[in-house]
Amino acid sequence: MEMSYAIGRYEQAAELLPARWQQAARRVPDFRKAQAEEFRLRAMTLVTTEGELFVSDELPRQSVTQSDLEQLCDTVTGYSRYAASESMGKGYLVGRGGFRVGLCGTVVLRDGVGVNLRDISSASVRISRQAAGLCRDMTQLLPEGESFQSTLIAAPPGAGKTTLLREMVAALSNGSEERAPLRVGIVDERGELAGMYRGVPQLDVGFHTDVLDSCPKTLGIPMLMRSANPQVIAVDEITTAEDLTAMAAAANCGVALLATIHALDEEELRRKPLYPVLAASQVFRRLITISVEAGQRRYQVRPL
């Protein structure tokens, strides 16, 4: 990833911040901007590869105010929070550029379901970036001359599962000289994969990709089957047996699956309570694990 691109995405994300914090964020050194993964608005810090650091030593460290948080929400929603109440009830917003804003506060419940959020107490702005060309450089992830096999990506938080998933989706959707493009459907439950903003993906997921945004996997997978005739369905973060049941139903109809799951490695994956269900479903044929060594990501591909 080029440093200029990494810095540019940082500066785009900083434009969502309250005005006084934008100024502080712009004064951060370029090398730190390139490392940054999140802004966290409670004591105004940056999450980087070196840990969580204060954005500024000039401003009081506990000076993120209720007004700052309200201004953030107004900026992200275009001063139309009512229109975004459904996603706020789930604890997040997605701003222009595909930046996901996580929110904490008082949940407004209706019939036991979160329908909005008030009295915002803290927020995080994820600085999403793409690793364009990742799959071109890793032919083992998308071998030429064979049909795509259902693939599971396992890695710990922060290792780059969603980034890799997005790049694989784009590569499958766009095709290449050796491989025809495939119709890909995404169920983007948390708004992180495509970064939809007013119906438009803010992150590159390919030319032949359909997206269901803010939709549970168990609902979205059969919806895509009925509406979009996908050849591949991609989802981020398998967490329940019901997710796997929906995927197995799609696989039985000839659709390939591409998904991620939290696990340090294959050994930890096999210890997860969900693993017996995953193994019994026989959906996934390949496993990709990601490890980080000396700041570099390492990818391993093996049969599952």
Sign of torsion, CA 198 226 209 98?
positive
Q: How far apart are CA 14 and CA 24, in angstroms?
A: 10
10-52: pLDDT as tens digits: 999 999 999 888 988 999 999 999 989 999 998 889 998 778 8
Residue 205 pLDDT > 60, yes or no? yes
CA dihedral 215, 219, 221, 227 (to 10 degrees): -90
How far is it, in rounded angstroms, from Cα 70 to Cα 105?
11
Indicate whether 212 pLDDT > 70: yes
Higher per-residue confidence, 237 vs 115: 237
In the chain, which residue ranges form alpha helices assigned H by DSSP? 3-14, 19-26, 30-35, 66-77, 85-89, 161-174, 217-227, 241-251, 266-271, 275-281
The pLDDT tens digits for 261-274 are: 999 899 999 999 99
What per-residue confidence (pLDDT) applies to 153? 96
DSSP one-letter string for 41-109: ETTTEEEETTEEEES-SSS-TT---HHHHHHHHHHHHTS-GGGGHHHHHTTEEEETTTEEEEEEEEEEE
CA distance 22 to 154: 35
| Average pLDDT score over the chain | 89
Sign of the torsion angle spanned by Cα atoms 17, 18, 23, 27: negative
CB 32 within 8 A of CB 1: no
Number of H helices, E strands in the chain: 10, 15
- CB distance 150 to 200 below 8 Å: no
Q: What is the pLDDT of residue 276?
A: 94
Residues 6+ apart with CB under 8 A from 188: 194, 196, 211, 212, 213, 214, 215, 236
If one compares 159 and 228, the residue with the highest pLDDT of the two is: 228
Give Dmax over CA atoms of the chain in angstroms: 59
| The pLDDT of residue 298 | 84
Residue 244 and residue 217 in contact, taking contact as beta carbons nearer than 8 Å: no
Q: Which uninterrupted H or E stretch holds 284?
A: none
Predicted pLDDT at 173: 93
Please give the average per-residue pLDDT across 82-86, as a whole number.
83
Q: CA-CA distance, 155 to 290, in Å (whole number)? A: 5
